[in-house]
């Protein structure tokens, strides 16, 4: 019983790595300290990468000892690292709930984009996304979210006198729907934007959503981060199939909420429209023309994403000609259109491929596996990393089963 009490006490300690600047200042004020102490700790942790209170030499020894007794600084533990041939890096992290989640670093010239996860799994089950097929376990804590950024900087050498590849952009496009974990994501965004922490520009932190309309409206007055809308279809009928959340919040409501958020920022800001092109599903010329009409009164940029195949899906990547035709129609209609390069696919780190290993609370993965196994003889499916070796997620599940 005494052991359980000690464990509970440890678990109850505030983890300062995930506290937003405001919450950290409030905690320290409750300890009788002035606001500048919060700024000092933010700089030590997020700018210098220091987790040892004893090393924070501009703080009194007495207060450092108190911090060590009453609080903690703990990023999530790393389980695996995978390096892609194109320079991308994928890390798998263990969460407090026992699942594993993934984050990906994508270098591109002087830009370094970190794609972070916000949930272990996802409740939305978009038909083209590998993450959704894993089911859902839990929301990540703010410490587990911002801890991904901290760990990436450490792994890339970014805390060593400013050296190493830089994390210049952070996108909430990893595992999970960020706006269904609103408060923890907002705390992480506060740290990303704070000058005493990561100091990123509001245009370099992007929250991507499949369309949680009430939460988009909540963003107004809470943050001014960039917004990306995972649209993927030009009409409600097709989007209902690809993004089931659309049945609750259809396209018109989504675009209206986005307009309201952007108007609240008091400056000209354009959202990013994400559109995953799937062969024979949403990549026809008529879909491009319909999309051009849909967005004609909605200033935006469009990011076309060729579908990245994974074993549990029957969807296929579009042909180069379909992609070119689709892009050409949108460009001719006056849109700024980018085509997302497929990066990190040799380590299953490309867009839509992140799976981790989720302790599924929904039984979705169990049902999908049953269907996949039943269809495997006819379709020749092999759930592997693509080279005959087990995927990272399968390896983790094997570890779970081991005695």
Closest by CA position to 104, among listed 381, 396, 375, 351 = 351
Distance CA 353, CA 182 (A): 23
Q: Strand 169-172 and strand 111-115: pairing?
A: parallel
**Of 175, 132, 126, 123, which Cα lies nearest the Cα of 282?**
126
With tokens 């002087």, the residue in question is 110
Burial class for 252, CB neighbours closer than 10 Å (0-12, 13-18, 19+)? exposed
Task: Quote the CA–CA distance of 403 and 400 in Å, as a whole number.
Answer: 8
Annotated catalytic residue within 33, 102, 144, 309: 102
Per the CB < 8 A criterion, the answer to whether 238 and 280 are in contact is no
Q: Identify whether the C-beta of residue 169 lies closer than 8 Å to the C-beta of residue 228.
A: no
Strand partners of residue 228: 208, 272
Q: Which residue has the tokens 């994501």?
A: 185
Structure tokens at 193: 């934007």
Q: CA-to-CA distance for 290 and 211, rounded, in angstroms? A: 19
Long-range own/partner contacts, residues 23-30 (CB < 8 A, 24 or more apart): 23/187, 27/71
Which residues, in sequence order, are CB contacts of 240 under 8 Å at separation 6+?
A: 246, 247
Measured distance CA(198)–CA(177) in Å, rounded: 23
Please state, in angstroms and rounded to a whole number, the distance separating the CA atoms of residues 117 and 188. 11
Concerning whether 351 is annotated as a catalytic residue, the answer is yes
Active site residue 102: yes
Catalytic residue (choose from 88, 126, 300, 351): 351
- Are the C-beta atoms of 273 and 231 separated by less than 8 Å? yes
Give the active site residues: 102, 351
């Amino acid at each position: 019983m005494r052991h359980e009490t000690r464990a509970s006490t440890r678990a109850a300690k505030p983890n300062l790595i995930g506290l937003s600047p405001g919450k950290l200042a409030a905690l320290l004020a409750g300890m009788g300290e002035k606001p500048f102490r919060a700024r000092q700790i933010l700089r030590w942790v997020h700018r210098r990468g220091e987790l040892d209170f004893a090393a924070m030499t501009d703080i009194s020894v007495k207060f450092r000892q108190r911090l060590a007794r009453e609080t903690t600084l703990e990023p999530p533990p790393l389980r695996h690292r995978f390096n892609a041939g194109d320079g991308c890096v994928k890390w798998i992290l263990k969460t407090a709930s026992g699942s594993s989640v993934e984050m990906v670093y994508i270098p591109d010239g002087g830009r370094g984009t970190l794609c972070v996860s916000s949930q272990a799994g996802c409740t939305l089950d978009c038909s083209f996304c590998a993450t959704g097929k894993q089911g859902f376990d839990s929301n990540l804590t703010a410490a587990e979210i911002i801890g991904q950024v901290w760990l990436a900087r450490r792994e890339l050498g970014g805390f060593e006198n400013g050296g190493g590849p830089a994390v210049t952009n952070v996108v909430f496009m990893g595992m999970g729907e960020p706006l269904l974990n609103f408060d923890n994501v907002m705390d992480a965004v506060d740290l990303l934007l704070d000058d005493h922490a990561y100091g990123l520009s509001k245009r370099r932190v992007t929250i991507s959503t499949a369309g949680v309309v009430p939460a988009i409206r909540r963003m107004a007055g809470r943050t001014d981060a960039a917004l990306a809308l995972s649209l993927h279809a030009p009409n409600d009928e097709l989007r209902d199939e690809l993004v089931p959340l659309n049945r609750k919040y259809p396209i018109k409501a989504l675009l209206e909420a986005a307009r309201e958020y952007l108007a609240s920022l008091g400056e000209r800001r354009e959202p990013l429209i994400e559109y995953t092109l799937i062969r024979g599903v949403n990549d026809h010329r008529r879909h491009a023309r319909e999309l051009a009409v849909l967005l004609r009164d909605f200033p935006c940029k469009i990011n076309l994403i060729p579908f990245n195949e994974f074993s549990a899906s029957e969807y296929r990547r579009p042909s180069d000609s379909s992609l070119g035709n689709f892009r050409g129609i949108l460009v001719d209609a006056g849109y700024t259109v980018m085509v997302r390069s497929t990066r990190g696919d040799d380590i299953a780190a490309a867009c839509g491929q992140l799976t981790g290993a989720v302790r599924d609370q929904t039984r979705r993965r169990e049902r999908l596996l049953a269907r996949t196994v039943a269809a495997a003889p006819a379709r020749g499916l092999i759930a592997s990393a693509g080279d005959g070796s087990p995927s990272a997620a399968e390896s983790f599940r094997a570890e779970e089963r081991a005695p």
